[in-house]
Amino acid sequence: MEKLKHLIKMEDMGKRDDIEALFELSKAIKENPEKFRNQFAGTGKRIATLFYEPSTRTRSGFHAAAHELGLGVIDETAESSSCLKGESLEDTIRTFEGYCDGIVLRHEDTKAGNRATAVASVPIISAGCGKGEHPPQALLEGFALNEKKGKIDGLGVAFEGDLKNSRTAHSLIKLLSLYKDITIHCSSVPGLELPKEYVKLMEERGTSFSQCSPQDIPRDVDAIYMTRVKQELLKNKKHDTQRYFMDQKRLDTFSKDTLLMHPLPRNAEIPSSVDKDPRAVYFKVARDGVPTKQAILMATLQDELSL
Ligand code: NCD
């Protein structure tokens, strides 16, 4: 695997082989955490996590990954930043690059990743920028699908909810479309359909795509990827989300092998009563995401990568 310069969009990961190399590394870390622990201890290397939007899993997951690897962590959020005094993102990046060896950035502006890489001399990892992409989440979800289904080629995956604003769905769709014989079903809340650029990309890559209603998702689909409606982006606009809801009764209409995924945080679209169903894997995927975040940090900060 080539050293990663930046990770802003899925294309920055390179080809399918590079993604698979990252999965291999994630698997090696997951199976033998001791071997990879404290790799960077004593090197003085640090990352900064610069989060201008709320986060639970991505920020703390990167902290956990950095601690596992023996990397120092500088943590900055919007509340503690001079952005409240009007400092630009560019000036903040130029300051932080003097304090660390890589920056994990979350920002409300879809272009923030590109704005950061335009001025940064250290690698930038986007942990979700605006309505665009969220490559680390897609990589850990791709890893989970590959692990749980044994392969990604040939999978059918249904995406449901707010597919317009879900950056995790956007990156995961890009990842899946690199594989063979993939079928994507999009059960979008009306008005919150998948942006055309992703539909075009699937066409170009030969991924079979259909827009469908919740009841038309095939019962034997390999995974259903639910997303919350990002109400904070929709201001007061109300969407009819009632049918985009996965309770036990609906889940039981699907195959016993259909995985129920969600990037989290969830709102009402999956009630907690479903969590005990073995097909509901979202908390497990979040926990297992730490080795993938370690692999991303290693691919970004280490010159020579080996298992
Ligand atoms: C998501 C995000 O921030 O894009 N969560 C995540 O990182 N796992 C999803 C969301 O906010 O709905």
Residue 170 Cα to ligand 1 middle (Å)? 12
pLDDT for res 234: 82
Instruction: Please state the pTM of the whole predicted model.
Output: 0.96
The neighbour count for residue 153, using CB atoms within 10 Å, is 12
In a shared domain, residues 153 and 279 = yes
Residue 132, pLDDT score: 98
Name which residue sits closest to atom 8 of ligand 1, judged by CA: 263
Residue 220, both tokens: 């034997």
Do 213 and 188 form a contact (C-beta atoms < 8 A)? no
Question: What is the model's pLDDT at position 81?
Answer: 86
Confidence of residue 161 (pLDDT cuts 50, 70, 90): very high
pLDDT of residue 1: 78
CATH of the domain at 209: 3.40.50.1370
- 143 with 111, same domain? no
Residue 85 domain boundaries: 10-133+289-301
35 C-alpha to ligand 1 centroid (Å) = 30
Residues 185 and 275 in one domain: yes
Q: Is residue 4 part of a domain?
A: no
d(CA 294, CA 282) in angstroms, rounded, equals: 19
Q: How far is the CA of 168 from the centre of ligand 1 (A)?
A: 7
**Mean pLDDT across 129-148:** 98
Phi, psi of 5 (to 5 degrees): -75, -55
Q: How many domains does the chain have?
A: 2
Q: What per-residue confidence (pLDDT) applies to 306? A: 67
Between residues 85 and 118, which one has the greater pLDDT?
A: 118
Instruction: Assess whether 17 and 93 both reside in one domain.
Output: yes
Residues whose beta carbon lies within 6 Å of some atom of ligand 1 = 57-58, 128, 134, 137, 167-168, 228, 230, 263-265
Q: What pLDDT is stored for residue 82 in this prediction?
A: 86
Residue 83 maps to a domain? yes
- Residue 194: which pLDDT band, with cuts at 50, 70 and 90? very high
Shared-domain flag, residues 269 and 145: yes
Same domain? For 26 and 58 the reply is yes
Name the band, by pLDDT with cuts 50, 70 and 90, for residue 156.
Answer: very high
Q: Which atom of ligand 1 is nearest to the CA of 227?
A: 12
Pairing of strands 72-77, 208-211: unpaired
DSSP letter, residue 7: B
Q: Closest Cα to residue 185, out of 153, 163, 205?
A: 163
Taking 80 as the threshold, does the pLDDT of residue 304 lie above it? Answer: no
Residue 307 in domain: no
Could you read off the pLDDT of 197-225 as tens digits, one per residue?
A: 999 999 999 999 999 999 999 999 999 99
pLDDT digits (tens, 9 = 90+) for 75-93: 999 888 888 888 999 999 9
